[in-house]
């Protein structure tokens, strides 16, 4: 039987000991890696369990009709240059100051309204015809979106967003998580400009609506009756 020299045996034991320590160290490394993502900026994008910052931003945007704002990005801990990179590499489309839409999200009337609200800023809501269109009481038109706010808007807005001064008495409600003027107030705002045909359409749409509460429906029908009598 071949005998191992004591010195060599000591070396083998030492190597085996450090091999065990190395395996344990690898097992305890957290699942966080930095990978270089191709893009104009060439910045490292952190992945946490294979979920990137863009994945997190996209998930939030899908809850908001594909719309992303600087505030949402900040809440997620994203830096401004990260959002800029997503825009530059084509994953986001710029709607206006601090507002973007997912490039692969097919725009809808609701994403159009959500973008208008985001562009005007916190505390704004759909107003007049746009509020009624949100509630399916008037046909949606792809043109101007009417938005009201109590704040002074200093930023430059796209031509398709028209801002009105909100009054203290204005009541704001939500349909599909989009804030809008209370339907009966929206009707009162534009009643004088509606034709008899439009008023009849509103009456029918109100009676058929499945998103209005009974009290809201009653208020609108009473207002419509008043408007017809005035004519």
In sequence order, which residues have a C-beta less than 8 Å from that of residue 30 and are 6 or more positions away?
none
Mean pLDDT of 126-151: 89
Q: What is the pLDDT of residues 31-56, one digit of tens each?
A: 433 333 333 333 444 444 567 899 99
Token pair 């009974």 is found at 214
Mind listing the pLDDT tens digit for each residue in 160-188? 999 999 988 888 899 889 999 988 888 88
User: What is the share, in percent, of the chain residues with pLDDT greater than 90?
Assistant: 40
Higher pLDDT, 151 or 229: 151
**Rounded Cα gap, residues 197 and 129, in angstroms:** 15
């Amino acid at each position: 039987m071949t005998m191992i020299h004591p010195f060599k045996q000591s070396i083998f034991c030492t190597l085996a000991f450090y091999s065990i320590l190395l395996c344990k160290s690898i097992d305890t490394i957290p699942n966080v890696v930095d990978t270089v993502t191709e893009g104009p900026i060439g910045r490292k994008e952190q992945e946490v369990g294979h979920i990137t910052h863009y994945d997190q931003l996209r998930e939030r945007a899908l809850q908001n009709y594909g719309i992303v704002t600087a505030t949402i990005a900040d809440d997620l801990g994203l830096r401004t240059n990260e959002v800029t990179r997503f825009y530059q590499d084509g994953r986001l489309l710029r709607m206006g100051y601090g507002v973007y839409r997912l490039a692969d999200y097919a725009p809808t009337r609701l994403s159009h309204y959500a973008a208008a609200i985001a562009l005007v800023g916190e505390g704004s809501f759909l107003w007049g015809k746009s509020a009624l269109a949100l509630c399916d009481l008037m046909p949606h038109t792809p043109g101007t979106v009417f938005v009201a706010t109590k704040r002074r808007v200093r930023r430059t807005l796209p031509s398709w967003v028209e801002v009105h001064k909100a009054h203290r008495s204005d009541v704001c409600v939500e349909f599909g998580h989009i804030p809008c003027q209370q339907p009966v107030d929206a009707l009162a705002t534009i009643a004088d400009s509606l034709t008899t045909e439009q008023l009849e359409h509103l009456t029918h749409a109100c009676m058929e609506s499945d998103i209005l509460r009974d009290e809201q429906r009653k208020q609108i029908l009473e207002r419509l009756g008043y408007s017809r009598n005035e004519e």
